[in-house]
A and B are shown apart, each in its own frame.
Chain A
């Protein structure tokens, strides 16, 4: 059960427990190849940790316990090194996220120009809170700090992953109005929005 979907955060520290068999087969040859290519760029394998985590994320959508253990083995680095990095950065996901990431900007300029009503509309249409994934549309909502487009505030960054094509499509929606949110979300999913059926 994915804790993000249930709306509950795990409140106990869990050990990373993985199955040896799963770990050994977790990384595809393509992933390993991309990581090996990266390792050549740095005088020390540690330099490739962040990018390797991003590669795993590109292929698998997020960084699972099995994946991070497999990475540690492949890069011949202590698991703790990778975990300390993976849990530090905003855009490395150690919990499962949806295929579409919706990131409204909550920087100061967007706040002054209407972030709150945009955010409210997003939560309502997806019927989730910030940090959760809408099971129906596979959209995850996470507000991000200042996206550097303050003259077009409020803005929203959307990253859609096509895991079979191992590609990500990024887009920035500018000068947002809360009433435009429904239309934008509808473009991002083939399913109807949970907000459609609600009063």
Chain B
């Protein structure tokens, strides 16, 4: 074990956006020690540590990572292929954390993948990267080349039985690729329609082989969890959830940006202290706690800890943890229209409620924003929320679209009604 003290900021301690650490500097700063610590243990122990840490997937859904990985069936023989996939196709409206991590510390992602490869005996890893993230692509490829040259990737890594290759796969742009089974279809070179579950990807994923798909930030957590242990990781959280999280704020605040903070930090602390509060002349109307597919919350919710269950109890979701603030000078109807319009455009068209429901909601919202709405339209929009509710659609895209819509209708009702009664947008 290393003599280094356990870090307080395990996700960002190696982050350098100007010039990310190269392999030698990353190793000198303690990098790849988490991977070494993993190699000293059996895959079962690594998986056990991950389960004990209570790490929850950072892509948005918050599924326990250790549990997800434990569904991978035991390997039949040496040639049994299994895949690890990084979901780096960040496209959630208002989310910008993965770009930051990828550009700032590419080696930490690779280290997380190597730990994963050891834990589930994967032989190939794909980094499914957003096409527009070209800086990240260049930096990742350079880091991968360094690892191959140093024997950290390829055959018999560090003199062990572990063989592992990583490829960067740049996407061609579609939000639905963030859905893990759609991502797998896209990797196979198909339209990114989601697949029916079961079978779950852990059992039959990419080309029918066991496949684990996790978000960039999830992999960034692994090196320190393995190096410093589950107990240490649990102690980082401030409330019920373990570890730290990348939180961010965008919109009309004084200091928009990203920060690594303990899980359970309140939205008030994130917005008022870290983001410096609202910009001069603007007041807070509401906020999306974790991207475009999360329900709006109001200023009265600011003191709720940003924990998966607490935000859930308040009627929204943690999502990506990147907060978008809605100020009093922007039109809430236009904001909801923008979000629902995005999901309508990005629907893959596979199931009817999503393919037809979202465009009609968008049309009606546009009519209201243009001052041509009717009061009965609000009931229609409410019906659409129910039409695309979980269980009625093939995947979570349309239910995600309904979140800002239903909460917008609830919290900004008077704005919708003013548009209809006054026959114009009062904000323009």
Q: A residues bordering B, Cβ < 8 Å?
A: 41-44, 46-51, 53-54, 84-85, 88-92, 103, 106-109, 111-113, 144-153, 157, 170
Given the contacts A112-B324, A146-B94, A85 and B189 also touching, CB distance less than 8 Å: yes
A111 touching B334, Cβ below 8 Å: yes
A90 to B173, Cβ gap below 8 A? yes
Closest 8 CB pairs of A and B: A89-B172, A150-B250, A90-B173, A49-B189, A151-B256, A109-B250, A46-B189, A91-B173
**Nearest neighbor of B172 in chain A, beta-carbon distance:** A89
14 contacts between A and B (CB under 8 A): A41-B167, A84-B191, A107-B292, A111-B330, A111-B335, A112-B335, A113-B251, A144-B173, A145-B175, A146-B92, A148-B132, A150-B322, A150-B324, A151-B257
Distance, CA A147 to CA B342, complexed state (A): 13
Complex interface: chain A residues within 8 A of B190 (CB): 46, 49, 84-85
Q: Could you list 12 further interchain pairs (A-B, Cβ under 8 angstroms) beyond the known A42-B189, A112-B324, A146-B342? A: A54-B170, A54-B172, A85-B191, A91-B131, A106-B342, A108-B324, A108-B335, A109-B250, A112-B330, A146-B91, A149-B99, A170-B134
Q: Is the pair A112, B133 in contact by a Cβ cutoff of 8 Å?
A: no
Pairwise interchain contact B334-A144, C-beta atoms closer than 8 A: no
The reply to whether the CB of B248 lies closer than 8 angstroms to some CB of chain A is yes
Enumerate chain A residues within 8 angstroms of B170, measured Cβ to Cβ. Answer: 51, 54
Bound: A9/B322 CA distance, A: 38
B251: A residues at CB distance < 8 A? 109, 112-113
| Complex interface bits, B294-333 against A, C-beta within 8 A gives 1, otherwise 0 | 0000000000000000000000000000101111001000
Known: A44-B207, A108-B93. A148 touches B335 (CB 8 A): no
Q: When the two chains form their complex, are residues A111 and B96 in contact, meaning their CB atoms are under 8 A apart?
A: no
Cα distance A49–B172 in the bound complex, in angstroms? 11
- State whether A47 and B96 are in contact (beta carbons under 8 Å apart), knowing that A112-B251, A150-B250 are contacts in the complex: no
CB distance from A114 to the nearest CB of B (A): 10
A101 to B326, CA, bound (A): 30
Let me know if B132 and A144 touch, CB within 8 A: yes
- Please state if A151 and B258 are interface contacts (CB–CB under 8 Å): yes
- Residue total for B at the interface (Cβ-Cβ under 8 A): 54
Interface presence of B186 (CB below 8 A): yes
Q: Which residue of A lies closest to B343 (CB)?
A: A145
B116 to chain A, nearest CB (A): 20
Asked if A147 and B132 sit within 8 Å, CB to CB, the answer is yes
A130 to chain B minimum Cβ distance, whole angstroms, is 12
Complex interface residues of chain B between 130 and 152 (CB less than 8 A to chain A) = 130-134
Nearest CB on A from B340, distance (A): 11
**A-side contacts of B99, CB under 8 Å:** 148-149
Whether the Cβ atoms of B250 and A153 lie closer than 8 Å is: yes
Q: Given that A85-B191, A107-B342, A151-B257 are known contacts, is A145 also in contact with B250, CB under 8 Å in the complex? A: no
Rounded to whole angstroms, the CA-CA distance of A111 and B288 in the bound complex is 14
The reply to whether B207 and A108 form a contact with Cβ atoms under 8 Å apart is no
Q: Which residues of B contact A144 (CB under 8 A)?
A: 132, 173
Return chain A residues, CB-CB under 8 Å to B94. 107-109, 146, 150
Determine the residue in chain A with the shortest Cβ distance to B92.
Answer: A146
Assess the B324–A90 pair: CB atoms within 8 A: no
Selected from B93, B133, B172, B191, the residue in CB contact (under 8 A) with A146 is B93
Given contacts A41-B167, A53-B172, contact A151 B189 (CB under 8 A): no
List of A residues within 8 angstroms of B96 by Cβ: 148-151
Q: Does B33 contact A (CB under 8 A)?
A: no
* Inter-chain contact A50/B257, CB cutoff 8 Å: no
Residues in A whose Cβ lies below 8 Å from that of B263? none
Beta-carbon contact of A88 and B92 below 8 Å: no
- Bound Cα distance from A79 to B295, whole angstroms: 42
Whole-angstrom distance between the alpha carbons of A70 and B249 in the complex? 47
Q: Does B95 interact with chain A (Cβ within 8 Å)?
A: yes
Q: Is the CB of A47 within 8 A of B131?
A: no
Q: A54 contacts which chain B residues (CB < 8 A)?
A: 170, 172
Encoded as 1 (CB less than 8 Å from any A CB) or 0, chain B from 183 to 210 comes to: 0001111111000000000000001000
Within residues 252 to 275 of chain B, which ones have a CB less than 8 A from any CB in chain A?
A: 252, 256-258
B339 sits at the interface (CB 8 A)? yes
Contact B191 A150 (CB under 8 A): no
Q: How far does the Cβ of A96 sit from chain B's closest Cβ, in whole Å?
A: 18
What separation, in Å, do the CA atoms of A53 and B131 have in the docked complex?
A: 13
A146 near B189 (CB under 8 angstroms)? no
Residues on the A chain within 8 Å of B175, using CB: 145
Q: Name, among B98, B130, B173, B257, the residue most crowded by chain A CB atoms within 10 Å (CB to CB).
A: B173
Whether B338 is near chain A, meaning CB under 8 Å from some CB there, is yes
Q: State which residues 84-116 of B face A: CB under 8 Å.
A: 90-96, 98-99
Expressed in whole angstroms, the Cα–Cα distance for A92 and B327 within the complex equals: 36
- The answer on a CB contact under 8 Å between A109 and B173 is no
Complex Cα gap A51–B132 (Å):
14
Contact present for B174 and A88 (CB under 8 Å): yes
Taking CB atoms, residues of chain A closer than 8 Å to B207 are 43-44
Residue of B with least CB distance to A116: B334
Q: Within the assembled complex, what's the spacing in Å between the Cα atoms of A88 and B193?
A: 10
CA of A144 to CA of B334 in the docked complex: distance in angstroms?
Answer: 17
Partner of B93, one of A53, A90, A145, A157: A145
CB-CB under 8 A from B191, the residues of chain A are: 84-85, 88
Instruction: Check if B45 is an interface residue, CB within 8 A of chain A.
Output: no
- Partner of A157 from B132, B250, B257 at Cβ < 8 Å: B132
Which residues, 31 to 45 on B, are CB-close (under 8 Å) to A? none
Give the complex CA separation of A151 and B325 in angstroms: 11
Instruction: Please give me the residue from chain B that is nearest to A175 by CB atom.
Output: B256
Q: Closest residue to B177 on the A side, CB-wise?
A: A89
**Which of B170, B172, B188, B327 has the largest count of A CB atoms less than 10 A from its CB?**
B172
Tell me whether B370 is interfacial, beta carbon within 8 Å: no
What's the least CB distance linking A167 to chain B, in Å? 12
